[in-house]
A = this chain, B = another copy of it.
Amino acid sequence: MWLSELASRGGVSVATAKYYLREGLVPPGEAVGATRARYDQSHVDRLRLVRALVDVAGLSLDQVRDVLAAMAAERSPAAAIGAAHYRLSPPPPTEPSAAALDRVRALVADRGWQVDDDSPHLVAVASALDAMEAAGQPLADTGLETYAASAGEVAKVDLEAMVASAGPAGEDAATYAVLGTLLTEPVLVGLRRMAQEHQARARLG
């Protein structure tokens, strides 16, 4: 396909597609003559990924470049997913407390989750628990366990969809995971807000 079709199928303007190509965020097409190039489905997929990282995740182009490089550098799909995901949980403004880190590590161990000991998600969760404590609204163990159980159910569905749709190939699976994580987070967060709206009405209305 030509550039105009690539842009249209990627959901961006021709100017934006050109810009991403110039910045190296989307690899060059196959040159046809001096000024034209042909693109294929892999270019469309990459364009959609870049667009989601920018529009949905709010990453800067430098951060997008970093995520893409991390994905490309890994050999196994799981490692590529991990590397890409890690870029999505930036370090919190302040270090979490040792107590909160221990609490999250214990939760992960209890559930039998295989997670790196220095996973940025672990740090992000510990930091959020500290923030709740500081705001005078600590999260009780029962609450934390319900959250973890729900997150586990959701992640199972996510991985099933990923395996079914993208197959086990490296960057494809990682692309799917990053897109899937970013695009579904607003769904999950929005549904939970609606469920809270309902619960507030049913119990307090």
Contact = CB atoms under 8 A, between A and B. Distances in A.
Contacts of A82: 197, 200-201
B200 A128 contact: no
Copies in the complex: 2
A110 to B, nearest CB: 12
A91 interface: no
Interface size class of A (residues with CB under 8 A): 35 or more
A44 B81 CA distance: 42
A85 interface: yes
Interface in A55-88: 55-56, 76-78, 81-82, 85, 88
Contacts of A134: 11, 48
Chain A interface main SS type = helix
7 shortest interchain CB distances as A-B pairs: A155-B195, A150-B150, A125-B190, A151-B191, A128-B186, A113-B198, A151-B192
18 contacts: A48-B135, A49-B135, A76-B204, A77-B204, A82-B201, A114-B201, A115-B194, A115-B197, A115-B198, A121-B191, A121-B194, A122-B190, A124-B190, A127-B186, A135-B179, A137-B176, A151-B195, A181-B196
